[in-house]
């Protein structure tokens, strides 16, 4: 049997039709495409992080229950440790949710409702598992369209609804009241509130109170957007009985000892450094937003995240390619078509990176 024949015989047809998620592997002087936080921590903070790894015994498996880290996450997120599930990034948590919460008593495929555009992994991970995905367009100001969400939920009777707040790629927040209203109306669906970028927005306690009052709300979090993308540490905070079910699908040693140790120190001893990072990003975001807005044919959606959503009246593709040639990688959505043809998502970089972007864009839009 040849390899293609073997693939045809064994690989799920729906997987064969998919493309793997593959970020641009090229080398760029300025990478503003992945919503990482590129600022460096102080030498003292870096020393704290290095010290966290010194006593790790590399011969042994890590703590399978990640008890210490779960306690740190629980304190950070305002919950108890048994309400926390840890994953290799929130990507793995999303996959676990879609593996376990896939029951459909009335038959048919498990279903997820998302907005569009939004974070691509909700859909990719669902498709691999044979889920149906219903995508509800954001309104003309890139906000969640609550009325259309209700209709989609009524039609699709979904297992899961994903709401990223702030949303990727638009940077827009969904008010807690909107999520409350949806979750109360549809008690048999789990609403996954993705807080990946919430540290860059307003007061996270809003969503905490909401999740405490309704069992069908779960909160997704990650360290990736806070200066620790390489660790691959994400989590879910939810009802403890639900967490116990999800834990059955978790690989026992999913988080390495290195990731557990560094993440714990990041969330405890490094909190002041995280606050400082957030302040730096917010102030650069304000500057970037206002300076981009002065360029001809360019407008920016007010962002609550660590990136900005930029509209180019004459289309985004040429700007995207020209920036790339000049060593600056941002994220373009022109291939999706429609109104996304005009949009670039630009991560807020360091002051120097943002200066370089602004000066290249000024010459390109002149």
Ligand X SMILES: Cc1ncc(COP(=O)(O)O)c(C=O)c1O
Q: What does the DSSP assignment read for 26-39?
A: S--SEE-SS----P
Token code pair at residue 43: 């030498």
Least separation in angstroms between CB 117 and ligand X = 11
Least separation in angstroms between CB 71 and ligand X = 19
Which range binds ligand X by CB under 6 A, 59-67, 88-96, 143-151, 204-212? 88-96
Chain positions 222 to 281 lying near ligand X, rule: CB under 6 A, are 222, 224, 234
| Alpha-helical regions (H) of the chain | 3-10, 13-16, 43-52, 67-77, 89-100, 121-128, 146-156, 176-185, 205-213, 240-247, 257-267, 271-293, 317-325, 351-365
Least separation in angstroms between CB 167 and ligand X = 7
Chain positions 182 to 211 lying near ligand X, rule: CB under 6 A, are 194, 196
Which range binds ligand X by CB under 6 A, 48-56, 85-93, 140-148, 265-273? 85-93
Asked if 353 and 360 touch (Cβ cutoff 8 Å), the reply is: no
Q: How far is CA 324 from the centre of its chain?
A: 24
Which range binds ligand X by CB under 6 A, 61-69, 89-97, 144-152, 244-252? 89-97
Alpha-carbon span 100 to 322, nearest angstrom: 44
Alpha-carbon span 175 to 258, nearest angstrom: 36
Least separation in angstroms between CB 220 and ligand X = 7
Choose between 167 and 354: whose C-beta lies nearer to ligand X.
167
Task: Annotate each residue in 26-65 with x if it binds ligand X (CB under 6 A) or - if it does not, as one string.
Answer: ---------x------------------------------
Alpha-carbon span 332 to 83, nearest angstrom: 37
Q: How far is CA 157 from the centre of its chain?
A: 24
Q: What does the DSSP assignment read for 49-66?
A: HHHHTTT--TTSPP-TT-
Task: Annotate each residue in 110-139 with x if it binds ligand X (CB under 6 A) or - if it does not, as one string.
Answer: ---------x--------------------
Chain positions 321 to 350 lying near ligand X, rule: CB under 6 A, are none
Least separation in angstroms between CB 68 and ligand X = 19
Chain positions 146 to 165 lying near ligand X, rule: CB under 6 A, are 164
Choose between 91 and 360: whose C-beta lies nearer to ligand X.
91
From candidates 89, 156, 176, 349, binder to ligand X by CB under 6 A: 89
**Residue where the block lists tokens 């907005």:** 115
From candidates 30, 38, 77, 90, binder to ligand X by CB under 6 A: 90
Neighbours of 254 (CB within 10 A): 18
Alpha-carbon span 207 to 184, nearest angstrom: 14
Least separation in angstroms between CB 182 and ligand X = 18
Least separation in angstroms between CB 90 and ligand X = 4
DSSP state of 165: S
Q: What does the DSSP assignment read for 164-178?
A: ESSPTTT-----HHH
Handedness of CA 267, 269, 271, 274 (dihedral sign): negative
Choose between 146 and 164: whose C-beta lies nearer to ligand X.
164
Choose between 117 and 158: whose C-beta lies nearer to ligand X.
117
Query: Footprint of ligand X on this chain (CB under 6 A)?
Result: 35, 89-91, 119, 164, 168, 194, 196, 222, 224, 234
């Amino acid at each position: 049997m040849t390899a293609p024949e073997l693939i045809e015989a064994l690989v799920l047809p729906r997987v064969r039709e998919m493309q793997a998620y593959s970020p641009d592997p090229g080398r760029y002087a300025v990478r503003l495409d992945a919503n990482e936080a590129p600022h460096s921590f102080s030498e003292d903070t870096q020393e704290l992080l290095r010290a966290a790894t010194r006593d790790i015994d590399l011969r042994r498996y890590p703590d399978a229950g990640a008890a210490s880290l779960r306690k740190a996450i629980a304190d950070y997120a305002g919950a108890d440790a048994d309400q926390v599930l840890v994953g290799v990034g929130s990507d793995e948590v999303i996959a676990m949710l879609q593996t376990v919460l896939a029951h459909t008593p009335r038959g048919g495929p498990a279903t997820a409702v998302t907005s569009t555009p939004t974070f691509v992994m909700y859909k990719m991970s669902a498709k691999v598992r044979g889920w149906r995905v219903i995508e509800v367009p954001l309104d003309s100001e890139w906000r969640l369209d609550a009325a259309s969400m209700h209709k989609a939920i009524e039609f699709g009777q979904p297992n899961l609804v994903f709401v990223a707040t702030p949303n990727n790629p638009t940077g827009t927040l969904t008010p807690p009241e909107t999520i409350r209203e949806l979750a109360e109306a549809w008690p048999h669906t789990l609403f996954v509130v993705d807080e990946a970028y919430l540290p860059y927005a307003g007061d996270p306690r809003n969503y905490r109170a909401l999740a405490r009052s309704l069992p069908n709300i779960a909160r997704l979090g990650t360290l990736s957007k806070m200066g620790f993308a390489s660790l691959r540490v994400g989590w879910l905070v939810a009802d403890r009985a639900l967490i116990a079910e999800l834990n059955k699908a978790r690989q026992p040693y999913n988080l390495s000892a290195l990731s557990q140790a560094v993440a714990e120190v990041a969330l405890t001893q490094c909190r002041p450094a995280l606050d400082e990072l957030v302040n730096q990003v917010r102030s650069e975001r304000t500057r970037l937003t206002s300076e981009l807005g002065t360029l001809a044919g360019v407008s920016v959606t007010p962002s609550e995240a660590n990136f900005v959503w930029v509209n180019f009246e004459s289309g985004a593709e040429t700007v995207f390619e020209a920036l790339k040639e000049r060593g600056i990688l941002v994220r373009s959505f022109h291939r999706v078509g429609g109104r996304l043809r005009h949009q670039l998502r630009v991560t807020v970089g360091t002051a120097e990176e943002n200066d370089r972007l602004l000066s290249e864009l000024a010459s390109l839009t002149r």
